[in-house]
Amino acid sequence: MPRDDIHYKVAISEGAKQLEAGELRKAESHFRFAVKRCAECAGGYRGLAKVFIELDDRATALEILREGAQSLARSNNRTEAIELLRDAVRLAPDDRTLHRRYAAALANAGNEAGAVIEYGRFIELALEKNDVGRARLELEYARETLGNAPGMAELADRLVADGTAADVAPRREAEVPVPRPSLAAVQDVAVASDPPPKLVVAHQPFEDLMRGAPPDPHQRALALESRAQELITRLDPTAAVAALEAARALLGEGMQHAAADLLLQMVAAGMTDRDAQRLLVDVARSLGRGEIAKDKCALLAQALRLDGRADAATEVERLAAV
């Protein structure tokens, strides 16, 4: 439905009133209706997220913002998709995956300065966890996307200065000093006063990444997962192949929940095929017992039903009930 739909506007207005009055369940009902009326509008998702923040359920609020951003991106409403990702980053500032998605969205919108800041935040978080491999890998992803954009050399310098990546040489086209971006300005980077320049992005083919992946199976699985997430976020045509390979690698390393999350992200982006459906069932079988596993199986089953695979969905539901 278009954003000027009267029912959408009324739902947003009533939801806001109920939220202010503390009637959270009534507010939730109005905002969910708003999402149904206009799935390509940010208002319903943002309202729902606020409801669950008030309910002290930040995990659900975060998931709503993620799903909303994906839905808006599929509808080519990339400006508001970026705004929802920005809200998600503020809600979970230590979530590296969110910083990567936000960075990719900013880069695709032509906001190089904002993308550099977000890649920098990912790298800082990785270094805080002593995850040097992820920090170096993220720097390479940033270089693929942004080339020698202002601030990129400083990201490489940061790794070298910490003594953690001496083999990462900063790339500079000239000796002219480039100011380091302020990592405190995230709230402003997605708002551009002038239309952003058209960005030409050269991406590393997934096959090249496969050949260049770390030899350690665990690190290789994590590297493939990171790449697949980025491709899915960009709705890249090779994302399905990347996600399937990454999910198989994660399963091989016993990271069933990570594989399930990746496949669900792939399904949400509308990228399922027969191989993905078969792998969804395999993942469901491997999740085991427990409430989290049951919740994931329920999501996997729902994804299969939406894709027209009622037989596979029934099998997954049976596994969840065991």
Q: Which of 74-88, 137-151, 176-190, 294-308: highest mean pLDDT?
A: 74-88
Within 8 A by CB and 6+ apart from 112, the residues are 106, 146, 149, 150, 199
CA–CA gap between residue 155 and residue 5 (Å, rounded): 45
Residue 75: CB atoms within 10 A of its CB come to 14
Any idea which of 29-38, 50-59, 69-78, 175-184 has the lowest mean pLDDT? 175-184
- Report pLDDT digits (tens) over 195-241: 444 333 333 444 444 444 455 777 778 778 877 887 777 777 777 77
CA–CA gap between residue 99 and residue 118 (Å, rounded): 6
Nearest 5°: CA angle at 19, between 17 and 21? 70
Residue keyed to tokens 């809600």:
91
Residue keyed to tokens 């709503």:
64
> Could you tell me the two tokens for 99?
């910083």
Any idea which of 43-52, 54-63, 283-292 has the lowest mean pLDDT? 283-292
CA–CA gap between residue 222 and residue 98 (Å, rounded): 16
Structure-model confidence comparison of residues 204 and 41, the more confident one = 41
**Contact of 170 with 153, CB cutoff 8 Å:** yes
**Contact of 190 with 82, CB cutoff 8 Å:** yes
**Contact of 100 with 122, CB cutoff 8 Å:** yes
- Tell me the pLDDT of the chain averaged across its residues: 74
3-state helix, strand, coil in the chain (%, to 5): 70, 0, 30
CA–CA gap between residue 304 and residue 41 (Å, rounded): 25
pTM of the model: 0.52
Average pLDDT over residues 254-264: 76
